[in-house]
Amino acid sequence: MKRFLHLPELGNDEVRELLTLAAELERRPRPQALAGKVLGLLFFNPSLRTLASFQSGMARLGGSSFVISPGQGSWQLETRDDVVMDGAAAEHVREAIPVLAGYADALGIRSFASGTDLRADLADATFQALAEVCPVPLINLESAIDHPCQALGDWKTLDEHQVPTRGGRFVLSWAWHPKALPLAVPAAALHMAAQRGMDVTVLRPDGFALPAEIMARAEALAARNGGQVRETTDRREALEGAHVIYAKSWTSPQHYGAAEEEAALRGGLRSWCVEESWFANAAAECRFMHCLPVRREVVVRGSVLDGPRSIVVREAHNRMWVQMAVLHRLLAAPTPMAEAAEAARSASVVNR
């Protein structure tokens, strides 16, 4: 593995290997595995979990890390090409990323959606441009349209709670939020559940249908892995027999970048706050998931978060274990057995 950018780029065998390694690392520490290795973390946007879990995970493997937050103690960075840099940015990513790569064995980059240009965000244009100038192994710490570390941690969490793969009912539900939020987490969660082979329902109000590209990719992943994907505005129908409610707010793709129109549409939807009554016709053991951070009494009632259904803290903890597995695969010296497995995997990809 050279990069970890999008979970569906990995086959399910490779995902399973990462999950097995994550569980091993959780049971039996390997405090020398990455001794002498350095991870550079470039955050264009805020973080609590991603930042702390990568730094902690790298330290637990014997390596170290540094963090750059452009404009907060370091230069503001320009990401656009062909611009006259006479504004706030003192340096372009075309220099800054290769420079940082020279100090690190791998880089992780977080760069959220613009929120103004749906086509560019769906194409992950900014992150792709950053990836092109990164000469070392790269980890996507959340881009405009994906959050693979969250998806992999969520997959581990579902496995731990014995949520079925085939036949497991996963409901990705839109939730109210005062801000127009990106599509990255809903897309990542939807694609993860489809890749896991689950029966996936996207529950959302009118005007918040996910873009066709995101739904088509989910349908292809589900078809390949024995699952299915559908969407509805009917809460009762969506939650019938559900094993998981995964709540997340996202902006209206129909009003992408049109802040006033979008806010007017969203403003009437405060009742989309997950509460216990939502679980009435779900499976008795139905779980509540969210990537965090989450706003209490806005996205979900505090009573649900504090109750036995909620597995949000475990999701966050699993981020660290799966990311340690990713770091190990990217940076640890390969054993002869691992090299043979990698060669076999590459051959099977070429032969497909």
Contact between 67 and ligand CP by CB under 6 A: the answer reads no
Contact between 292 and ligand CP by CB under 6 A: the answer reads yes
- Footprint (CB under 6 A) of ligand CP, residues 152-191: none
CB-CB contact of 166 with 197 (8 Å): yes
DSSP 179: S
Site string for ligand CP, 130-149 (x = CB under 6 A): ------------x-------
Minimum distance of ligand CP from residue 184's CB (angstroms): 9
Minimum distance of ligand CP from residue 315's CB (angstroms): 8
Site string for ligand CP, 35-54 (x = CB under 6 A): ------------xxxx----
Report the residue number, 46 or 135, with the smaller CB distance to ligand CP: 46
- Binding-site member from 291, 300, 311, 322 for ligand CP (CB under 6 A): 291
Tokens 């349908």 label which residue? 219
Contact between 150 and ligand CP by CB under 6 A: the answer reads yes
Number of residues that bind ligand CP (CB under 6 A): 9
Report the residue number, 79 or 150, with the smaller CB distance to ligand CP: 150
Contact between 12 and ligand CP by CB under 6 A: the answer reads no
Minimum distance of ligand CP from residue 185's CB (angstroms): 7
- Footprint (CB under 6 A) of ligand CP, residues 78-137: none
Burial 68-83 (b: 16+ CB within 10 A, else e): bbbeeeeeebbbeeee
Edge-to-edge order in the sheet of strand 138-140: 64-68, 38-43, 106-110, 138-140
Minimum distance of ligand CP from residue 317's CB (angstroms): 12
CA dist 245 and 248 (Å) reads 10
Minimum distance of ligand CP from residue 314's CB (angstroms): 13
Q: By CB neighbour count within 10 A (0-12 exposed, 13-18 middle, 19+ buried), where does 351 fall?
A: exposed
Nearest by Cα to 326 from 79, 64, 106, 70: 106
Nearest by Cα to 266 from 184, 172, 177: 177
Three-class DSSP category at 94: helix
Minimum distance of ligand CP from residue 3's CB (angstroms): 19
Q: Which residues contact 175 (CB under 8 A, 6 or more apart)?
A: 247, 248, 249, 272, 273, 274, 298, 299, 300
Can you give the binding site for ligand CP, defined by CB under 6 A? Answer: 47-50, 142, 150, 291-293
